[in-house]
Amino acid sequence: MTSADQNPQQDQTRPLGVALIGYAFMGKAHSNAWRNVASFFDVPAFEQTLLVGRDASQVAEAATRYGWAESATDWRAVLDRDDIDIVDICAPGWMHAEIAIAALEAGKHVLVEKPLANTTAEAEAMTAAAASARTQGVQSMIGFNYRRVPALALARQLIAEGRLGTIRHVRAAYLQDWLSDAESPMTWRLRKETAGSGALGDIASHAIDQIGYLTGQTVLETSGVLKTFVTQRPGPAGLEDVTVDDAAWATFWLTGGMGASVEASRVATGQKNSLQIEVYGSGGALTFNLENLNELNFLDADAPVREQGFRRILVNEPQHPYLEAWWPQGHIIGWEHTFTHQIRDFLTAISSGEAPSPSFEEGLQVQRVLAAVEESAHNKSAITPVHQSVMASSASQIQGA
């Protein structure tokens, strides 16, 4: 039985109606994906029905530019509309829980940007609502889009096939420099009440999710450090206090005895958007850098010693995850394509009735790890997060796994 059969609110005689909440950075990225996905992938019919934002004139202009049929200023407008089946949430983190729970209870499929929420309590409430809605055929997914980088999806395949042997440790560093200048202005991302945390939730969450995604292992213990280098920034009323971190460091022990480390910074001068991942096993190793998104470096430790060394794999072949839909081999794709892949997978899950991944349960696991890092940094001690064994469950949900 498909989700449409289980969900009486979804009318299969018409295209799925989509409402997008938010039209700034992430809203633009998601809009681009919705506008292009059907041109490259075989997905269920849908319509870009409604774009929601707070400023009436700006959201109307964005709706026209991004291909949305209508615009509105109140997200609650989506709840009672029978022509809206999917709610895509790109609003700031402090709004995620209220919107997602209301949409799920109204029978709408929900995609929400990472991190799942600003607090563990909010994430737990969202996960409970998602589990309840799933029994009625209503699907939900969190937008960790880097799972849809073909090179990282290939890395997961190689690890699952045992090409690296037993994984011993992983290093992940997500480095940016957009806050290196102390005169950079205050934004909602620098206030704890709106952002939840700084570099920790914003970009370290991606790195933490990748560790679980690539290895299938769950964090058992963490030790963390947070640092705010610029404690005040210029705002409308003068200098304002920055109440979140600029940088974060954490070490982890995971199920299976594996170790991992994560570093995240928004003040790493010269680093624009560098997510570096290194995976070391008994039989080989992998390295990846988001700034070379189409490349994966692989070392086979079973090769003769005189021949060993990292070799570059250009991940552009039709045999690689997602790439059969795009260009001839050697023609690279970009960051924006990860969102197209994400929308493709979400629509496919809705059509098939299979729960998509990463689920809200997986998002909750990351949220608990973020909270444990923050607690460890505050107490200067190691913390054991409450965890669920959910990371490995995503193996069959990502294309080509």
Boundary residue ending a domain (101, 121, 145): 145
Sign of CA dihedral 342, 61, 45, 329: negative
Q: Measured between alpha carbons, how far is residue 276 from residues 52, 140, 167, 173 in Å? A: 34, 28, 17, 5
Q: What are phi and psi of 205, to 5 degrees?
A: -60, -40
The answer, yes or no, to whether residue 380 has pLDDT greater than 60, is yes
- The per-residue pLDDT of the chain, averaged, comes to 93
CA distance 285 to 258: 14
Domain shared by 313 and 212, yes or no: yes
Q: Summarize pLDDT for 283-321 with one digit per residue, the tens.
A: 999 999 999 999 999 999 999 999 999 999 999 999 999
Domain shared by 293 and 320, yes or no: yes
Tell me if 344 is assigned to some domain: no
CA distance 45 to 40: 13
Tell me if 174 is assigned to some domain: yes
Tell me if 111 is assigned to some domain: yes
Q: Residue 226 in contact with residue 265, Cβ under 8 Å?
A: no
- Region 189-196: mean pLDDT is 94
The DSSP element (H or E) to which 249 belongs, if any, is strand 247-254
Q: What are phi and psi of 291, to 5 degrees?
A: -75, -10
Domain shared by 265 and 318, yes or no: yes
Q: Residue 321 in contact with residue 333, Cβ under 8 Å?
A: no
383 DSSP 8-state letter:
B
Tell me if 400 is assigned to some domain: no
Boundary residue ending a domain (105, 128, 145): 145
Q: What is the CATH number of the domain that holds 236?
A: 3.30.360.10
Domain shared by 111 and 33, yes or no: yes
Q: Which two tokens stand for residue 222?
A: 């963490």
DSSP calls for 339-374: HHHHHHHHHHHHHHTPPPSS-HHHHHHHHHHHHHHH
Domain shared by 169 and 315, yes or no: yes
Q: Summarize pLDDT for 126-160 with one digit per residue, the tens.
A: 999 999 999 999 999 999 999 999 999 999 999 99
Domain shared by 88 and 155, yes or no: no
Give Dmax (Cα) for the chain: 67
pLDDT band with cut points at 50, 70 and 90 for residue 181: very high
The answer, yes or no, to whether residue 8 has pLDDT greater than 50, is no
Domain shared by 276 and 308, yes or no: yes
Domain shared by 134 and 161, yes or no: no
Q: How many domains does the chain have?
A: 2
Q: Which two tokens stand for residue 6?
A: 């289980």
Residue with tokens 């170790």: 259
Q: Residue 140 in contact with residue 110, Cβ under 8 Å?
A: yes
pLDDT at 237: 87
- Region 323-343: mean pLDDT is 96
Tell me if 315 is assigned to some domain: yes
The answer, yes or no, to whether residue 25 has pLDDT greater than 80, is yes
203 DSSP 8-state letter:
I
Tell me if 337 is assigned to some domain: no
Order of strands, edge to edge, in the sheet holding 109-113? 70-72, 46-52, 16-21, 86-89, 109-113, 140-143
The answer, yes or no, to whether residue 397 has pLDDT greater than 80, is no
Domain shared by 310 and 257, yes or no: yes
The answer, yes or no, to whether residue 393 has pLDDT greater than 50, is no
pLDDT at 4: 40
Q: Summarize pLDDT for 57-99 with one digit per residue, the tens.
A: 999 999 999 999 999 999 999 999 999 999 999 999 999 999 9
pLDDT at 47: 98
From the list 285, 287, 79, 335, the residue with the least C-alpha distance to 173 is: 287
Boundary residue ending a domain (96, 115, 145): 145
Range of the domain at 78: 3-145
Q: Summarize pLDDT for 208-244 with one digit per residue, the tens.
A: 999 999 999 999 999 999 999 999 999 998 999 999 9
From the list 72, 108, 86, 106, the residue with the least C-alpha distance to 18 is: 86
Strands 86-89 and 109-113: parallel
Q: Measured between alpha carbons, how far is residue 18 from residues 49, 75, 83, 189, 327 in Å? A: 5, 13, 8, 27, 28
End-to-end CA distance of the chain: 24
Buried b (16+ CB within 10 A) or exposed e, 40-62: bbebeebbbbbbbbeeeeebbeb
Domain shared by 319 and 267, yes or no: yes
309 Rama class: left (phi>0) / alpha (psi -120 to 50) / beta: left
Helix (H/G/I), strand (E/B), else coil: 232: strand
pLDDT at 381: 87
Tell me if 113 is assigned to some domain: yes
Q: What is the CATH number of the domain that holds 83?
A: 3.40.50.720
- Within a 10 A sphere around the Cβ of 308, how many other Cβ atoms? 13
Domain shared by 123 and 229, yes or no: no
Tell me if 38 is assigned to some domain: yes
The answer, yes or no, to whether residue 6 has pLDDT greater than 80, is no
Domain shared by 115 and 171, yes or no: no
pLDDT at 13: 77
